[in-house]
Copies of this chain bind each other. A is one copy, B any other.
C-alpha cells in the first residue's frame, strides 16, 4: 500500500472509532440479562458454558441446572464438578432425552424439580449468573409452565442476576421476555455425512 492509502485508511478508521465511541457512550446501563440461545445449530450449550468460564474468571459465583442431558458424562459436568465446585454449583434434573427414559411422568417430575432448583439459585443473592441448560426442551413439552417461568423471570429475578436459557424451539413468550436472543442456525453439520458426536466438540 502507498502512504496515501495508509493515510486514508487511518482517517476512515478514526471516523469509525469516533462513531463507535459515541454509540458506546449511550450504553451505560448494567442489568441482569435474560438471555436465550435457541435454534437447530450447534453452540447453544457450549456458549453458555463459555460464559460460565468468564464468570469464574471474574469471580462471579454462578450455577448451572441441566434439564435434559443429565445422564450424559459431559466434559463440562466433569470439569465444573471436579475443579470448580466452589465457584459454580452444578445441578442435574433430567435423566437424558425423553426417548431414552420413555417415561413421561418421570420426565415431568425431573423437569419440575429442575425448575424448583433453578428458582432457588436465581433468588440466591450470592449467585450472579444462572445457566438453565436445555430448559427449552422441557418448556416445549409443557413439562414446565411457560407462563410461570416468564412471570418469575420478569417479576421475581433479582435485577442484577443474569439468566441464560438454552435449547431448541424456544417459546415465543420467552423470546418476547428476553433481553438477548441468539438463534444458532444450522448451515452445515457433519452428522449428515456420517460423523459421530466427538469428545471436546459435542460433549
**Does A155 sit within 8 A of B, measured CB to CB?**
no
Q: CA A55 – CA B16 in complex, angstroms?
A: 38
The interface bits of chain A over 51-64 (1 if a CB of B lies within 8 angstroms of the residue's CB, else 0) are 11111111010100
Write the nearest CB–CB distance from A28 to chain B, whole angstroms.
6
**Does A22 sit within 8 A of B, measured CB to CB?**
no
Which of chain A's residues 71-114 have a Cβ closer than 8 Å to chain B? Answer: 74-76, 78-79, 98-105
Write the nearest CB–CB distance from A75 to chain B, whole angstroms.
3
Write the nearest CB–CB distance from A131 to chain B, whole angstroms.
10
In-complex Cβ contact of A200 among B17, B28, B60 (8 A): B60
Main SS of chain A's interface residues? mixed
Contacts of A193 in B (CB 8 A): 29, 179
Copies of this protein, total: 2
Number of interface residues of A (CB under 8 A): 82
Interface residues of A (CB under 8 A from B): 1, 6, 9-10, 13-14, 16-17, 20, 24, 26-31, 33, 35-37, 39, 41-58, 60, 62, 74-76, 78-79, 98-105, 128-129, 162, 175, 178-191, 193-201, 203
Given A24-B196, A162-B198, A183-B184, output 11 extra A-B contacts at Cβ < 8 Å.
A13-B98, A27-B197, A36-B187, A43-B182, A48-B50, A49-B54, A54-B200, A57-B75, A58-B199, A60-B200, A62-B200
List 29 interface pairs A-B (beta carbons < 8 Å), by A numbering: A1-B104, A13-B102, A17-B99, A24-B196, A27-B197, A36-B187, A41-B183, A41-B184, A42-B47, A49-B54, A52-B53, A53-B53, A53-B75, A53-B76, A54-B79, A54-B199, A55-B75, A55-B199, A56-B75, A57-B75, A57-B78, A57-B79, A58-B75, A179-B193, A179-B195, A180-B188, A182-B186, A182-B187, A183-B185
